[in-house]
A and B are shown apart, each in its own frame.
Chain A
Amino acid sequence: MTNLLKTMEINVGPQHPSTHGVLRLVLELDGEIIKSCKPVVGYLHRGIEKMAESRSYLQYLPIVDRIDYLGGFFNSYAYCDCIENLLNVEIPVKAQYIRVLCMELNRIASHLLWLGTFMLDLGASSPLFYCFRDRERILHIFEALTGQRMMYNYFTFGGVRFDIPNEILEDISSFVEDMPECIKDYENIITTNPIFTSRCVNKGIITKRNALQYSITGANLRASGVGLDFRKSCPYLTYDNLEFDISYADGGDAYSRYKVRIFELYSSLKIVEQCIDFIRSSSEPILNKSVKPVMLNIPEGEYTSIVEASRGLTSCTVKAGGKTPYRVKWRTGSYYAVQLLPELLVNCEVADMMAIFGSLDVILPEVDK
């Protein structure tokens, strides 16, 4: 005889429309209530850390873009920063500004994609198209600048590969001009929508303590009431010369995470604006010519660089060992967010699952590496 009161085990993923890649969640359901949750990762494991050990420093550079394909510039920067520090070279100020500009535009693009897919997870299809429309403009700018829409390979040891032509700067400034209006549009159809608020407010609460214990970073941490942003707390590149605000919310729920990310869109736009002004007026070189990237031979040493990526703290540790790295270690924000899932999902309904998971802004290539 079968027991009718038994709980049901259900596999969400790895082939599922809204697992943002290939996450697999083994859920135990009692009716529609989740009794236990076990995330299974690794379906997109490409061995990115191991690949470094058999390649020269330059050969590894294009690969790091693929760690988080929605925020390639952050990974690129983290790796370049490591090598530059191991070599003890300075990079020109203009190149630093260009790097900041690229990273902030990348952050906007990444947050826009998050907003669109998050709303799609909640069942609203229109915001996706609005967000992709605006993200497309950024991707066009990137394509014009680097030749690629997603895997840029634009930063290099000692600076950036190409200077930004004036036409592209014009494009960027017109984008920055238009964008606040677009964000207002999103907010008009999303922020006060009663269905949206009923599905997000007080859903998936990450307490301050939990967030710190699980080393959550980025917007997820700031939504839990900790105002930690590595752009402010330990500024890299030219962030200490730039004026911008960081925001944090106390709720810790999906709605706070949404609010924090929307605010970040505005603050990123502000940074981009200031970068454009500097890059226009500067005629410095963009590359430190003293670095010879092709035949790099770095004596033994270790350096860790950190960058506030769109999904939290991304850090890269390179232990140099002659012509190839001895070991490269990546730390990415999404991995820690996935770790938190069992904590958040137990005793929630299935319908809440996607609202909570979507609000964490997890992207699987970054988790599996």
Chain B
Amino acid sequence: MNYILSLFIDFLAKFDVPREVALVIFPIIPFCVVAAALILVVLILVLAERKVLALFTQRKGPNRVGIWGLLQTVADAIKLLCKENIEPNVTDGILFTLAPIIAFVPVLICWGIIPFSSEFDFMSISTSALLFVTIAFIPVIGTVLAGYASNNKYSLIGSIRSVAQVLSYELPIAFVLLSIAVLASSLNIKDIILSQISMFQVCGWYIFPCFLGFIIMFISSIAELNRCPFDLPEAESELVAGYNTEYSGMRFALFFLGEYAMMFASSAFIVALFFGGFLSPFGFYISEKIFSNNVIAQLFVYFEQAFWFFLKTFVVVFLIMWVRAVLPRLKSSDLLKFSWKFLLPLSIINFLFICIFKYFVLLGGIK
């Protein structure tokens, strides 16, 4: 971070901008980058999801707006923006408007926490992984408020289901995170990623000691995202559209945006914990080989890291979409049983195993 900061200060100094201004402006830049990237990624994700589902069901997917349907999501977004915001008479006015905001804003923060390359962690605090899990939990409050404020029975049932679901899947995630923390001896996401560097290259990724943990984390993340097969809060065959039944226009778009952005953030988190985050799968960075100039190479390494991060994340996102294409929906009671009776004990066993592994294998190696 300091390296880029000094570059930035030098750059502004050429235009006679004082150092203090540069220090103030600098932290704002990543937020702008994140916000822009977020919109872009969501636009791509929505299209990608429709294309992937079309692929699995032998259809063509959207292909009318723009080349290969690329502008389809833009058209949809414009439609949603231009739509009238319908608000039923009996809603709880303030909460009704507040709910989509609460559901969306934490996702932005989650995006800020993730280090997309080794110097791009401007919200680097020592327990950022814990912070991520905590903040990722907040959107459910928006869901609850939406269900309560809509004054609609379907919405209410949907939001109640959502709370029960997120509460029960939060624990397995915590235990998996704990076992990763034991492996990495850190709760900082960047440190976790960097500790996956090893002389065995790909084999250093934590998916190898902690494969069980990855499975638990993957399932729990899908459940937290309310996606198929855990999409009970918005099960359209039972609850019409669940908690967002009464929402339309931009308010609905915020829920929608939040859902997809969160899907990407969760996948990125999984990639950071298990797939070495921004590390190159070859053990070296390609740009280091291409560019002889050290400074340029260093700059391109950052972009390459981001590239690897995004690539791995999209693979995980693809897996989540694949699951959606194949599986039917679980029943709400089965869902809770699955979490409390199966995933939670399994995640504790995984935690114990990782502790033993760390003590006897990794530490033993050092001795």
A49 within 8 A of partner (CB) = no
A residues with CB within 8 A of B: 8, 10, 16-18, 32, 119-126, 128-130, 133, 189, 193, 195-196, 198-199, 349-354
Q: Are A349 and B331 in contact (CB under 8 A)?
A: yes
Specify which chain A residues have a CB less than 8 angstroms from the CB of B333 in the assembled complex.
Answer: 32, 349, 351
Query: Is B153 a contact partner of A8 (Cβ separation < 8 A)?
Result: yes
Q: Which 9 A-B pairs have the closest CB atoms?
A: A123-B329, A129-B57, A124-B328, A18-B237, A122-B328, A351-B331, A121-B237, A123-B328, A354-B237
Tell me, rounded to whole Å, the shortest Cβ–Cβ distance linking B26 to chain A: 46
Q: Please give the distance in Å from A23's CB to the nearest CB on chain B.
A: 13
Shortest Cβ gap from B250 to chain A (Å): 24
Contact A199–B238 (Cβ < 8 Å): no
* Chain B window 335-350, contacts with chain A (Cβ cutoff 8 Å), 1 for yes, 0 for no: 0000000000000000
The interface residues of chain B lying within 8 Å CB-to-CB of A354 are 237-238
B332 touches A129 (CB 8 A): no
The residue on A at minimum CB distance from B241 is A17
B325: chain A residues within 8 A (beta carbon): 125-126
Kindly state whether residue B133 has any CB partner on chain A within 8 Å.
no
Find chain A residues with CB under 8 A from B236 CB.
17-18
Interface residues on B, range: 20 to 34
Using a CB–CB cutoff of 8 Å, the interface residues on chain B facing chain A are 53, 56-59, 153-154, 157, 228-229, 231-232, 235-240, 324-334
Taking a contact as CB atoms under 8 Å apart, the answer to whether A129 and B58 are in contact is yes
Give the distance to chain B from A30, nearest Cβ to Cβ, in Å.
Answer: 12
Q: How many Cβ-Cβ contacts under 8 Å join chain A to chain B?
A: 80
Cross-chain contact A352 with B331 (CB below 8 angstroms): yes
Give the shortest distance, in Å, between A27 (CB) and chain B (any CB): 10
Check B58 against A133 for contact (C-beta < 8 Å): yes
- Chain B residues in 8 Å Cβ range of A32: 157, 332-333
For B332, give the chain A residue with the smallest CB separation. Answer: A351
A351 touches B235 (CB 8 A): yes
B326 near A189: Cβ-Cβ < 8 Å? yes
How close is A99's CB to chain B, nearest CB, in angstroms? 33
In the assembled complex, the CB of A79 is this many whole angstroms from the nearest CB of chain B, namely: 34
What are 28 A-B pairs with beta-carbon distances under 8 A? A10-B153, A18-B236, A18-B238, A121-B237, A123-B228, A123-B235, A123-B237, A123-B327, A124-B326, A124-B327, A125-B228, A125-B325, A126-B325, A133-B58, A195-B327, A195-B328, A196-B328, A198-B330, A198-B331, A199-B328, A199-B331, A199-B334, A349-B331, A350-B238, A350-B239, A351-B232, A353-B238, A354-B237
> Could you say which residues of chain B place their CB within 8 Å of the CB of A351?
232, 235, 238, 331-333
Q: 7 extra interchain contacts, Cβ-Cβ under 8 A, other than A130-B58, A198-B330? A: A10-B153, A32-B332, A120-B237, A123-B235, A125-B228, A189-B326, A351-B332
> How far is it, in angstroms, between the C-alpha of A10 and the C-alpha of B231 when the chains are bound?
21
Q: How far is the CB of A232 from chain B (nearest CB, A)?
A: 33
